[in-house]
Amino acid sequence: MKNHSAANTYMAASVETAPPLKIVRMLYEGALRFISRAQDAGVDSPEGCAWVGRADAIVKELRISLDPNRDAEICEQLEGLYLFCEDELARATDEADVAGLENAAEVLSILKEAWLEAGAVAPKLGESAA
């Protein structure tokens, strides 16, 4: 029991101290992992629906954390993509349609890659400004 508590404490600390880009990457990875588990469990099963719900919660969190004061146009585009993913995840559970999971996973994968590229460019931008 103590090991489990120590692991939880370590995980919480690593998330709390992580740079924002890493947190966003971790959220995308979590949503994609939950979608994969939903596919494995079967979208029409209670377990599959639970995994879809977890993925949907992450997508909603990504959407509500958008800050239009930083870049309204990008936020508007991201919001549209997140809403699409939410709709596809809902369709997957409502209609037991795996295509909804696949569509959401495709969009989230592309966004994750874009954030990874942004993370790779950000340190270089900081170096040139110094």
Provide the percentage of residues in the chain whose pLDDT is more than 70. Answer: 81
In a domain, 12, yes or no: no
The pTM score is 0.81
In a domain, 6, yes or no: no
Question: What domain range is 119 assigned to?
Answer: 19-129
In a domain, 72, yes or no: yes
Pair 34, 54: CB distance under 8 Å: yes
In a domain, 50, yes or no: yes
In a domain, 9, yes or no: no
Distance CA 61, CA 64 (A): 5
* Residue range 4-39, pLDDT digits in tens: 677 666 556 656 777 888 899 999 999 999 999 999
Distance CA 91, CA 25 (A): 25
Q: What is the domain-level CATH number for residue 109? A: 1.20.120.340
DSSP-assigned letters across all residues of 20-43: HHHHHHHHHHHHHHHHHHHHHH-T
Count of domains observed in the chain? 1
In a domain, 113, yes or no: yes
In a domain, 1, yes or no: no
In a domain, 116, yes or no: yes
* Residue range 37-88, pLDDT digits in tens: 999 999 999 999 999 999 999 999 999 999 999 999 999 999 999 999 999 9
Residue 45 is classified by DSSP as: S
Angle of helix 46-64 versus helix 20-41 axis, rounded to 10: 160
